[in-house]
Amino acid sequence: MSATSTMPAILPDLSTSIRKLSHQFDQISADRKVILHHLTEVIERKIDAKSDVNMNFICTHNSRRSILAQIWAQTAAFYYGVKGIECFSGGTEATAFNSRAVDAMKEEGFEISMLKKSENPVYKVKFSNNAAAFEVYSKKYDDAVNPKGEFIAIMTCSHADENCPLIPGASEKISLTYDDPKEFDGTLRESEKYRERVHEIGREILYCFSNVR
């Protein structure tokens, strides 16, 4: 699908980031592209069947990778004009959306503001002036706000993937795991590794949605 009609609606700095990442699809390995094409096909089947396309990105703590993927997926669907996509995230336990991940997404041009300050803050995320902002916070994958049936479960960490062989209510479970930038917290490479993960997830999610027919 073409992003021509929606491109100007994306926030300016974020639009620049998306254009850069979309020119890096050749950096995605062949093995990863196989997984991403499968996800594209699952999305297309649901669209063709006129079914709701609910995507729940799942990792252990729902603090970094799963929320990053949720935000990128909702943005990519809008950018490429793929209608009817609702993105969610959750963990096997709830913690908090890590502030380092928040800062890394802000660097890419997302507008993220805190709506509720607590041990598990609630954030508002905005990627366009022409699309509704949405809330993100850490929660379990079966939280009341998340879909209960016929959703696509995308596992973004190997621990959750291996320990949750069955996701109740999921019509499809796809393993799309990423290394955890948490391993570099408190080191000199912290910012670099969070930026690297944000770019990797964004690049792959954009590639997936760019291929939805």
Summarize pLDDT for 42-58 with one digit per residue, the tens: 999 999 999 999 999 99
Mean pLDDT of all residues belonging to the chain = 95
HEC readout, the chain: CCCCCCHHHECHHHHHHHHHHHCCHHHCCHHHHHHHHHHHHHHHHHHHCCCCEEEEEEECCCCCHHHHHHHHHHHHHHHCCCCCEEEEEEECCCCCCCHHHHHHHHHCCCEEEEEECCCCCEEEEECECCCCCEEECCCECCCCCCCCCCEEEEECCHHHHHHCCCCCCEEEEEECCCCCHHHHCCCCCHHHHHHHHHHHHHHHHHHHHHCCC
Mean pLDDT computed over 141-149: 97
Percent of the chain with pLDDT over 90: 92
Mean pLDDT computed over 83-94: 97
Residue 1 has pLDDT above 90, yes or no: no
**What are 164-205's pLDDT values in tens digits?**
888 999 999 999 999 999 999 999 999 999 999 999 999 999
- Considering the domain 28-210, what is its CATH architecture? 3-Layer(aba) Sandwich (3.40)
Which pLDDT value is given to residue 4? 42
Tell me the sheet residues that pair with 154.
57, 174
Domain ranges in the chain? 28-210
Q: What is the pTM of this model?
A: 0.95
Residues near 109 by beta carbon (within 8 Å), at least 6 away in sequence: 11, 12, 13, 14, 15, 16, 17
Strand bridging mode 122-126 / 134-136 = antiparallel
